[in-house]
Amino acid sequence: MTQVQKDIFGQVLVALVTPMTPEGEVDWAATERHIDYVISNGADGIVVTGTTGETSTLTDPEKIKLVEVGKAVSAGRAKIITGGGSNETAHAIQLYRESEKAGADGVMIVTPYYNKPTQAGILTHFRLIADATDLPVLLYDIPGRTGVAIASDTFHRAAKHPNIVAVKDAKGDLAQASRLMLETGLMYFSGDDSYALPHLSIGATGLIGVTANIAPHAYRAMIDATNANDFHAALKVHNALEPLQRAIMNHVPGTVAAKYVLHGLGQIDSPRVRLPLVGPEDSEAAAIEAGIDQVISVPGLSFDNFRPNRNAAAGGALPKIAGTTR
């Protein structure tokens, strides 16, 4: 991997949570602080309005403003990538064009969800969006959420488009990832926190992580060790992160648990999520807390002052302004 490739998006990318008030409105001040926190602790890039950012319940103006705020706070220190696509191709094109005008450094296109298009439809969706922007494009393969995977042949055909340069892989198929990296030249970003080091070991560029909201310094350390060909140091960080990853990803949706933990650490003012997401119920909160108790020594992170608040996280919010589409 060349330095130019590393510099397109960076290597440590955070799938950013969108901090909200108890009423479910975007907390812009907390958002600015959180963006600064992850960048100051090693993030090369931030994916705003992705799955973890609750893109499904953000309005279009909120999505664009998140790009603008990200650009302002990063001040050139990190890349800002917009992940707020749509399963309507025309709407996705509109959002990405507006995001480009707002200063986005890249766009992440998720496979159209719910529609379950054929591979021809998926490829056309990708190509038309890539035609509509001059920004570098990541394709987001997450069949567990979209209902359909991107086929190998579709990756090969999409890779011929000059703007399509990378993949966020949340499928966990290491054999396919290895083959496609070799055959297409696409950069790969691990989209499953527990697969970050395995993906890196077969040549991935980096990661787009949920738990990187909480432990950006540790992921920076893992990447730096990998770049230095120090596998044992990278493995040590991977093992240290494993219980944190389980705590965040195994009991409730990742954004719910990440906000719960970030609030308990005092990093954000409220753990609120928007309906239909809700905060963890008592049994789920207990499982998250038990997982945090198993975290021993993560670089740059301490849970000594972790004070989770189940009451603050309870339920979900209905924002005053609804709607994400035209």
Among all residues, which ones are annotated catalytic?
A: 140, 168
CA dist 222 and 234 (Å) reads: 5
| Nearest one of 90, 86, 92 to 115, comparing CA atoms | 86
Asked whether 272 and 22 are in contact (CB, 8 A), the reply is yes
Locate 48 and state its tokens. 């705003």
Tell me the sheet residues that pair with 317. Answer: 274
Check residue 206 and report its DSSP letter.
E
CA dist 93 and 135 (Å) reads: 12
Asked whether 232 and 256 are in contact (CB, 8 A), the reply is no
CA distances (Å), origin 33, targets 39, 80, 251: 10, 15, 27
SS3 79: strand
CA dist 37 and 224 (Å) reads: 19
Q: Whose structure tokens read 């917009």?
A: 82
